[in-house]
């Protein structure tokens, strides 16, 4: 798919890329599922999937304070990276939790999959918003903006508003499906192979 294919075969050079182009796992997202890390039972277990464009790009497993993340590794194979938590004092006797970057050891709240490894934004040379966009990034952004605009016209992003004509509705749904497919293609380069299952 020309400009879409990248993933772990991507060259380590060129313009800095934007964070939302890459598979990522964040502490806020994790907290939405497991509650606070602090109060997660030491013998508790929870596993989950991170999807982008409908494609599973990361699998994670939390057992007590032990987080393992499976992601796209070298040569398109999935690999598993253990992620350690750290905490700092946060006033009123509270603790602020962090994920330690597997590469630099720095405390971070998000880790990204790029170049076949899992690491923080700085290690992966990603920006929150890049000034010089690559074609692939621009494509992905355009797709997402367009999706947003189409969804805004529908109820709950999918249903037909009472006054909308059926022909208009069908056209929008078709467009939405095409856009979903475009995002799906963009993320396929980072997909966890479907025949691979994590060792946990």
Footprint of Zn ion (CB under 5 A): 101, 103-104, 119-120, 123
Q: Where are the beta strands (DSSP E) in 73-143?
A: 78-89, 95-100, 107-108, 110-114, 117-119, 126-127
The residue among 119 and 143 lying less far from Zn ion, judged by its C-beta, is 119
State the nearest-atom distance from the C-beta of 55 to Zn ion, in Å. Answer: 25
The CA distance from 180 to 109, in Å, is 28
State the nearest-atom distance from the C-beta of 121 to Zn ion, in Å. Answer: 8
Q: Where are the beta strands (DSSP E) in 53-106?
A: 55-63, 66-72, 78-89, 95-100
The residue among 98 and 169 lying less far from Zn ion, judged by its C-beta, is 98
The residue among 69 and 101 lying less far from Zn ion, judged by its C-beta, is 101
State the nearest-atom distance from the C-beta of 105 to Zn ion, in Å. Answer: 7
Q: 3-class SS at 78?
A: strand
Using an 8 Å Cβ cutoff, are 43 and 64 in contact?
Answer: yes
**197 Cβ contact partners less than 8 Å away, ≥ 6 residues apart:** none
State the nearest-atom distance from the C-beta of 24 to Zn ion, in Å. Answer: 13
The residue among 99 and 101 lying less far from Zn ion, judged by its C-beta, is 101
């Amino acid at each position: 798919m020309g400009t879409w294919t990248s993933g772990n075969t991507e060259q380590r050079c060129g313009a800095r890329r934007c964070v939302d182009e890459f598979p990522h796992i964040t502490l806020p997202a994790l907290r939405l599922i497991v509650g606070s890390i602090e109060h997660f039972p030491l013998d508790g277990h929870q596993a989950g999937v991170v999807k982008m464009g409908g494609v599973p790009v990361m699998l994670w497993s939390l057992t007590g304070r032990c987080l393992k993340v499976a992601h796209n590794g070298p040569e398109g194979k999935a690999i598993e990276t253990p992620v350690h938590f750290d905490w700092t004092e946060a006033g009123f006797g509270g603790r602020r939790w962090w994920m330690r970057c597997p590469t630099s050891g720095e405390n971070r709240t998000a880790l990204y999959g790029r170049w076949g490894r899992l690491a923080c934004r700085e290690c992966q040379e990603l920006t929150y918003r890049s000034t010089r966009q690559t074609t692939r990034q621009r494509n992905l952004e355009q797709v997402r903006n367009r999706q947003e605009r189409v969804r805004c016209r529908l109820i709950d992003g999918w249903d037909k508003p009472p006054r909308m004509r059926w022909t208009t509705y069908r056209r929008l749904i078709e467009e939405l499906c095409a856009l979903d497919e475009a995002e799906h293609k963009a993320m396929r380069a980072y997909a966890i192979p479907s025949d691979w299952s994590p060792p946990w």
